[in-house]
């Protein structure tokens, strides 16, 4: 069977696939995280565990920070074939009931949590939620993708001209269609051929009836790790997802590598791409990954604390306390405090239990805004000179509101220290972020940003300081950067073809 009716090619009855929920994802959300750069996907797969769906749900729960809009799980068992549940909302709300898990029998499965891209917000349909599924002549396959294909538009146009009918707005669906047109004899062979035709960032976790597959793009922009749980094998976006089920970390899937885990737990490793110098995303250390994960052999928490130490050396200021913007600014604030000797204090308390649409978006509530999630510890603030440490400044709107809260609590001075260089360029490799025109640092000098936010001083860690914190003593080599850092430098390792077609202009040659 071909792929021209993708949504009808499930081996399970369509009634087993959950319909779209009625909540409107475009409803006003008074959430400070709206002014953040956000990852789009988290992946988890397992082979060799009875009731695999239980473990996948736990793994996705640990990866919830990578995508909170929707999630899905696909499993396979010999009696029922492929089974799918895809829903909007948090993992805890959708994949914790025995009723849902009973719809997902099998010892092999893959799961996915997602954010949508900026262009499709408010228009997301359940068909856009991964994992995607395709039925091929040699059997079915489900695919979950983290990243972004920078030539997806041209691929999509070509595939449609050749007869493919797309069921979603996701670039990830291109992979399924390319596999369907491949003449490879096995599904892994078809996946190799398909992925050789795509450009951009991709970590993929896929499954057939008897195999679990993991692939990482040649640059290794998005992470992917392997673990063992007894005799079973696990693939996940981060090590924290292994920890939650008690799996042991084995190794990272290397940039440009495909691993195929067979039913008997033997593992085949392939190198289907032309070798290039890897450039994993440095922003994984700054913000995306959980601080308790290990990435590239480095503790994310330790790197963030080191960034704070670099900030203290590069941008000292006399103050009475160092205060993080919770939660992502906490490790860097600890590092700043340790290096500067200025006491660390929890001057802002985060309320983690605010619902996304629990209250009507009246003008009065809009004015409350950030206070629904953050509250100033007033007893600490009065008359104090405060250093606020945050991970990044994107539009600057949240930074201004937090500064206002600190001053209203009686602080004498507010100094912002940012644990990343100025974010001046958009990312097209699997990240949801504003356009260049919306990025504050693209349109203002550092001093102009300081005046706009309204703080006594504003400093960012330097790009060399960030590299030193990650463990490269000499800082960034501009001729051969060790990491993908285009959001700070404008140096894209792959031309974003789709965006260039839409008029995006690359940085002028120096």
pLDDT digits (tens, 9 = 90+) for 440-479: 999 999 999 999 999 999 999 999 999 999 999 999 999 9
| pLDDT tens-digit map of 158-214 | 999 988 888 888 888 999 999 999 999 999 999 999 999 999 999 999 999 999 999
Spans of all domains in the chain: 6-20+37-278, 302-501
pLDDT band at 369 (very low <50, low <70, confident <90, very high): low
Rounded to a whole number of angstroms, the CA Rg of the chain reads 23
Average pLDDT for 20-45: 55
Instruction: Give the span between the Cα atoms of 308 and 301, in whole angstroms.
Output: 11
Residue among 259, 498, 495 nearest 506 (CA): 495
pLDDT at 433 over 70: yes
Instruction: Give the span between the Cα atoms of 213 and 7, in whole angstroms.
Output: 22
Beta-bridge partners for 84: 74
CA angle at 159 for the pair 158 and 165, rounded to the nearest 5°: 140
What is the secondary structure of 121-167 as a DSSP string? TT---GGGSSPEEEEETTEEEEEEEEEEETTHHHHHHHHHHTT----
pLDDT at 341 over 70: yes
pLDDT at 34 over 80: no
% of the chain beyond a pLDDT of 70: 86
Residue among 82, 87, 219 nearest 494 (CA): 219
Instruction: Give the span between the Cα atoms of 145 and 41, in whole angstroms.
Output: 7
Q: How many helices (H) and strands (E) does the chain have?
A: 18, 23
Residue among 206, 203, 201, 174 nearest 189 (CA): 206
Average pLDDT for 244-263: 98
| pLDDT tens-digit map of 48-75 | 999 999 999 999 999 999 998 999 999 9
Instruction: Give the span between the Cα atoms of 372 and 349, in whole angstroms.
Output: 11
Instruction: Give the span between the Cα atoms of 188 and 15, in whole angstroms.
Output: 29
Q: Out of 34-43, 166-175, 254-263, which region has the weakest mean confidence (pLDDT)? A: 34-43
Query: 363 or 377: which carries more pLDDT confidence?
Result: 377
What is the overall mean pLDDT for the chain? Answer: 87
What is the secondary structure of 25-52 as a DSSP string? TTS----GGGGS-EE-EEEEEEES-TTH
pTM of the full structure? 0.89
| pLDDT tens-digit map of 208-222 | 999 999 999 999 999
pLDDT at 453: 96
pLDDT at 415 over 70: yes
Rounded alpha-carbon distances, angstroms, from residue 449 to 301, 339, 456, 483? 28, 26, 11, 27
Say which CATH class 6-20+37-278 falls into: alpha beta
| pLDDT tens-digit map of 107-134 | 999 999 997 543 344 456 788 899 999 8
pLDDT at 82 over 70: yes
Per CATH, which fold does 302-501 belong to? Rossmann fold (3.40.50)
Instruction: Give the span between the Cα atoms of 146 and 214, in whole angstroms.
Output: 11
pLDDT at 303 over 60: yes
Average pLDDT for 240-251: 98
Active site residues: 41
- The span from the first CA to the last CA of the chain, in angstroms, equals 52
Mark out the alpha helices in 63-143 (DSSP H runs): 91-94, 98-102
CA angle at 234 for the pair 218 and 186, rounded to the nearest 5°: 60
DSSP structure class, residue 300: H
pLDDT at 368: 62
pLDDT band at 39 (very low <50, low <70, confident <90, very high): low
pLDDT at 430: 77
pLDDT at 365: 54
């Amino acid at each position: 069977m071909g792929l021209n009716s993708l949504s009808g090619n499930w081996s399970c009855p369509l009634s087993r696939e959950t319909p779209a929920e009625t909540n409107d994802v475009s409803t006003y959300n008074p959430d400070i995280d709206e002014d953040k750069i956000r990852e789009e996907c988290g992946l988890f797969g397992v082979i060799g565990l009875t009731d695999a769906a239980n473990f996948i749900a736990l793994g996705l729960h640990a990866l919830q920070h990578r995508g909170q809009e929707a999630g899905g799980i696909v499993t396979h068992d010999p009696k029922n074939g492929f089974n799918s549940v895809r829903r909007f909302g948090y993992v805890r709300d959708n994949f914790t009931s025995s009723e849902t898990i009973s719809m997902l029998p099998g010892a092999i499965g893959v799961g996915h949590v997602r954010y949508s891209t900026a262009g499709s917000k408010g228009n997301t349909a359940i068909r856009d939620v991964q994992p995607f599924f395709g039925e091929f002549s040699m059997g079915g396959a489900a695919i979950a993708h983290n990243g972004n294909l920078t030539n997806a538009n041209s691929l999509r146009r070509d595939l449609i001209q050749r007869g493919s009918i797309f069921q979603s707005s996701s670039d990830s669906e291109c992979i399924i269609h390319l596999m369907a047109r491949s003449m490879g004899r096995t599904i892994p062979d078809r996946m190799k051929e398909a992925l050789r035709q795509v450009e951009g960032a991709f970590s993929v976790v896929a499954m057939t009836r008897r195999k679990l597959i993991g692939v990482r793009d040649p640059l290794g922009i998005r992470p992917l790790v392997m673990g063992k749980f007894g005799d079973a094998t696990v693939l996940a976006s981060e090590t924290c997802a292994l920890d939650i089920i008690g799996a042991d970390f084995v190794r990272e899937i290397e940039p440009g590598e495909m691993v195929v885990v067979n039913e008997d737990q033997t593992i085949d490793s392939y190198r289907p791409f032309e070798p290039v110098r890897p450039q994993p995303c440095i922003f994984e250390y700054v913000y995306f990954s959980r601080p308790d994960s290990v990435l590239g052999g480095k503790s994310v928490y330790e790197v963030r604390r080191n960034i704070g130490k670099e900030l203290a050396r590069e941008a000292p200021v006399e103050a009475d306390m160092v205060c993080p913007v919770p939660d992502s600014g906490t490790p860097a604030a600890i590092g700043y405090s340790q290096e500067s000797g200025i006491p660390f204090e929890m001057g802002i308390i985060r309320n983690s239990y605010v619902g996304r649409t629990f209250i009507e978006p009246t003008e009065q509530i809009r004015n409350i805004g950030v206070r629904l999630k953050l509250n100033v510890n007033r007893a600490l603030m009065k008359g104090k000179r405060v250093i606020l440490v945050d991970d990044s400044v994107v539009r600057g709107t949240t930074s201004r509101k937090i500064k206002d809260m600190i001053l209203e609590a009686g602080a004498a001075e507010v100094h912002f220290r940012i644990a990343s260089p100025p974010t001046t360029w958009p990312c097209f490799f699997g990240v949801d972020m504003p356009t260049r025109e919306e990025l504050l640092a693209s349109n203002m000098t550092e001093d102009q940003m300081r005046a706009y936010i309204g703080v006594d001083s504003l400093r960012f860690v330097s790009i060399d300081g960030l590299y030193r914190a990650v463990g490269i003593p000499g800082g960034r080599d501009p001729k051969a950067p060790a990491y993908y850092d285009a959001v700070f430098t404008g140096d894209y390792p792959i031309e974003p073809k789709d965006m260039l077609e839409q008029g995006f202009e690359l940085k002028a040659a120096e």
